[in-house]
Amino acid sequence: MTNKFMDNKFIIRLFWIVILGIIWQVIALSEVFNLTSFPRIETLLASLIKDILNGDIIIQTLYSLSLIFKGLMLGLIISIILSGISMISKVFEGFVDTVIAIAHPLPGIALLPLVILWMGIGERAIIFIIVHSVVWPLTLNLLAGFRAIPNIYKQIGKNYGLNSLKIIRYILVPASLPYFITGLKIGWARAWRAVISAEMVFGAAGSAGGLGWFIFKKRVFMDTSGLFGGLIVIILIGIMIEDLFFDKFEKMTIKKWGMSI
Amino acid sequence: MRCLLEIKEVSKSFKKDKRKVKVLNDVSFSVKKREFVSVVGPSGCGKSTLLSLIAGFDEYDEGNIYFKGEKVIAPSPERVMVFQDFNQLFPWKTVIENVLFPLNVNKKETTLNERKDLAKKYLKMVKLEGYEDYYPNEISGGMKQRTAIARALIMKPEILLMDEPFGSLDAQTRMQLQTTLIELLEEIETTIVFVTHDIEEAVVLSDRIIALGKSSNSIKDVMVNNLDRPRDRLSNKFIEKVKKVYDKIKE
Amino acid sequence: MKKLRIKSIYILLTLFVFTLSLNGCTSSNDTSKNKEIKIAEQYGLAYAPLQIMKDKRILEKNLPEGEVIWKQMGNTAAIREGMISNQVDVGFMAIPPFLIGWDKGMDWKIASGVSSMPIGLVTYKSEIKTIKDLTSEDRIALPQPGSIQHIMLSMASEKVFNDSRKFDNQLVTMAHPDGMNALLAKKDITAHFTSPPYIFKELDHKGFHKVLSGKEAMGKDFTFIIGVTTKAFHDKNSKGYKAFKKSLKEAISFINKYPDKAADILAKEYDLPKKEVLRYITADGTVYSQEVNGLEDFADFMKRNDYISKSFKDRKEILWEDVTDDK
């Protein structure tokens, strides 16, 4: 049953991608737009394959992903600490709540000029922006998750003689998993956008500048099909993470357990 | 014989909209070892609160609760609660993992295999053989409550506190679980305080029935129930008993 | 049933996209019929004649029936994209970005030179005397890859190291003011390839010195900023085109004849002290002229190093018929 659904979803995706591709090709061939700004599909694919073969796009993508990974991990740790102390102390809860209210609406890219002033340019600043995009939605979701845990779980924990730490470890953490996954999904999506935008503003940081820098370079050298290649990679990675990673993970956990929110 | 559980002049009130609302007023009774005591009464009479005070989840305002001669101040694995809520099982654990949970976290000096054998034994007692690897969302409400009972019993508690455990089940399933519980009592030595609003259930299960009144929030009567076991719900004596209890709590 | 629904959605979607594209098409046609002239420039002293033209309303005088729309844009790529989508008729930029666009098939040609400027690479590190002293740790700020600053740095590294891409992984893309602030902070940026007035301001600070000048990189004088127009504008609005060229000529000769008066106007535009502006526009290496110099040198270098795929055989391929030839 589940397998069939997965196949269906995959087929639906593929179907619409093909349709969109056909529409694209029809518009390109009609030459309503200049072919430089609206290249044909085969030109796009040829350019993408060229960039894959010379390794450039792969190196840049891996670099961007490594930045995201670092930022996500750091954001995760900070979120757990922030939501943890909020659960323990009322004073901190107010503090964390206020910080989120201030910081959450700020787009990471708007902070960029300030971040450059504080920590200079390069990897650290980009990671800072990623952490900023991840921490607030994740903390909000973790807090919502902790608050949504039925009181009965805590009572059961106490009843079976668990101390506070064990209650957190064995009960609160798994019980808030659905919220945690939602937070992580939002965090990932924001981090991915943040890293691309930040890389487009910065130059090459060290040996690679990331996918954003790749796209920026394609823009300034007017390599439109190369630019689309970068966009295709962004889309593919987005679909892979959303459809494959998160979907699989949810199916293995909260969907199997009937816990999805 | 000394009593296992003594409740002495216990009162408890909650704050509601800045007003104090008394839910228990000067309640006293005691429970002997291996006794099955039911607490009946209409909703709002404070019977669930009473159970939660005995479990140690809540603090009482006045009076004392003694368990094995010591004042109850916190929850303890010696007094295990079974709730009405089907959600009392952890959804991320299978049936057997749920039953194993109290043993695993308390790291009793046994091997995992020994613990698993024990869990299987208790699951067999509650008639859940073959359902060990199901997740809670894959089994029925009745099966969930059976799992919860097995999880409570595996701790070998001195006293089992049951807060309307069959209250959300349909009539037929409820009767099946009552039968299972009666059979269990022959195999395990435990004391039970059982809260219910179902008088027939109280009469079928318990040795003594405590009736709580809603308006007074205190004990209206304590009735000994010494009908012969197994009890026949259709016998005249049974029906009379039910009627008697019903008359007592009627206000 | 289901198939039918999918089919109708498909048709709707196609129609939707087509309507969108048609709309885009008609609106761009409309604007070229109009008597509007849309001019895009950037910030800096190299664009001074345009400020004069704007302030003294020279183009309005030469083209009474037209409407002039000025746009100041953040970078060359934006101007180029504006010209592709017909949102800009006349754009100002350096020769390399123009050649990249021409190579990629953009239908545009050079209408005029505007200025030559003493651009260069500035550092605060005393141990860096030439680009040979730059290490792989040093980060170099410049407007963007493919900009004239980048191409000149590449020209110099080709000469010195026989490797035009040597510094490509050490570049940091920054607009001139940001790059200047970063350099003055002496933190992340070792060197800044920039143009007036920023280069003058940086060099005014103690210890800041020029490592490389544009002239050294190129080996000769070259035109820094040129004016480019789309074929659509040049062909369909020849009156506007001529008026624009005439106005630019007047503005340039005004600066050259009356630098003092020009400095008055520019001081206001750039929000700088007049004395400073006067010093900048009369500085050695600052030339306002309609001549276009260095086309072949840029094209040869960029072709040799794969920044462009083709070069021009005849200057007429990239210059409109009336453009002043260089010497």
Q: In sequence order, what DSSP letters do the residues of B108-170 get, joined into one string?
A: -SS-HHHHHHHHHHHHHHTT-TT-TT--GGGS-HHHHHHHHHHHHHTT--SEEEEESTTTTS-
Q: Residue C58 above 70 pLDDT? A: yes
Report the sign of the C-alpha dihedral through residues A12, A14, A20, A26, in that order. negative
Q: How far is CA B139 from CA A193, A224, B136, B146, B181, in A?
A: 42, 56, 6, 11, 19
**To the nearest whole number, what is the mean pLDDT of chain B?**
91
What gap in Å lies between CA B115 and CA B156, rounded to an integer?
Answer: 13
Are C and B neighbours with ≥3 CB pairs closer than 8 A? no
Q: Could you report the per-residue pLDDT of A104-151, keeping only the tens digit for each? A: 888 887 888 788 778 777 788 889 999 999 999 999 999 999 888 888
* A-chain residue closest to C147, CA distance: A220
pLDDT band at C137 (very low <50, low <70, confident <90, very high): confident
Is residue C161 left, alpha or beta, with left meaning phi > 0 and alpha meaning psi from -120 to 50?
alpha
Q: Could you report the per-residue pLDDT of B22-47, keeping only the tens digit for each? A: 899 999 999 999 999 999 988 888 89
* C-chain residue closest to A203, CA distance: C172
Q: Are B154 and B119 in contact (CB under 8 A)?
A: yes
Distance from CA of A258 to the nearest CA of B (A): 6
> Considering the entire predicted model, what is its pTM?
0.76
Distance from CA of B13 to the nearest CA of A (A): 20
pLDDT band at C19 (very low <50, low <70, confident <90, very high): low
What gap in Å lies between CA C131 and CA C172, rounded to an integer?
Answer: 16
What pLDDT shows up at residue A49? 92
pLDDT band at B108 (very low <50, low <70, confident <90, very high): low
Task: Please indicate whether, in this complex, the C-beta atoms of A160 and B88 are within 8 angstroms of each other.
Answer: no
Task: Outline where C123-237 has alpha helix (H).
Answer: 148-161, 176-184, 198-203, 214-218, 231-236
Task: Please indicate whether, in this complex, the C-beta atoms of C168 and A204 are within 8 angstroms of each other.
Answer: yes
Are C and A neighbours with ≥3 CB pairs closer than 8 A? yes
Q: Are B39 and B205 in contact (CB under 8 A)?
A: no
Note the ipTM here. Answer: 0.90
> Is B184 strand, coil or helix?
helix
Candidates C219, C202, C92; CA nearest to C152 is C219
Interface of A with C (CB under 8 A): 19, 23, 26-27, 30, 32-37, 116, 120-122, 201-204, 206-208, 216-217, 219-224
What pLDDT shows up at residue C327? 42
The residue-averaged pLDDT of A35-48 equals 86
Residues of A with CB below 8 A from B135's CB?
Answer: 256-258
Task: Please indicate whether, in this complex, the C-beta atoms of C173 and A121 are within 8 angstroms of each other.
Answer: no
Pairing between β-strand B19-31 and β-strand C36-41 as defined by DSSP bridges: unpaired
- DSSP calls for C93-139: E-HHHHHHHHHTT--EEEEEEEEE---EEEE--TT--SGGG--TT--
Q: Are B142 and B169 in contact (CB under 8 A)?
A: yes
Candidates C169, C185, C178; CA nearest to C137 is C169
- Looking at residue B87, the DSSP 8-state letter turns out to be G
- Rounded to the nearest angstrom, the gap between the alpha carbon of residue B144 and the centroid of all alpha carbons in its chain is 15
Binding partners of B (≥3 Cβ pairs within 8 A): A
Looking at chain A, the whole-number percentage of residues with pLDDT higher than 70 is 94
A171 CB neighbour count, 10 Å cutoff: 22
Q: Residue C1 above 60 pLDDT? A: no
Q: Residue B233 above 80 pLDDT? A: yes
What pLDDT shows up at residue A242? 85
What pLDDT shows up at residue A203? 58
Task: Please indicate whether, in this complex, the C-beta atoms of A122 and C105 are within 8 angstroms of each other.
Answer: no
Q: Could you report the per-residue pLDDT of B61-84, keeping only the tens digit for each? A: 999 999 999 999 999 999 999 999
Write A212-218 long-range contacts (CB < 8 A, 24+): A212/A64, A213/A60, A214/A51, A214/A56, A214/A57, A214/A60, A216/C144, A216/C145, A216/C173, A217/C145, A217/C146
> Is B83 strand, coil or helix?
coil
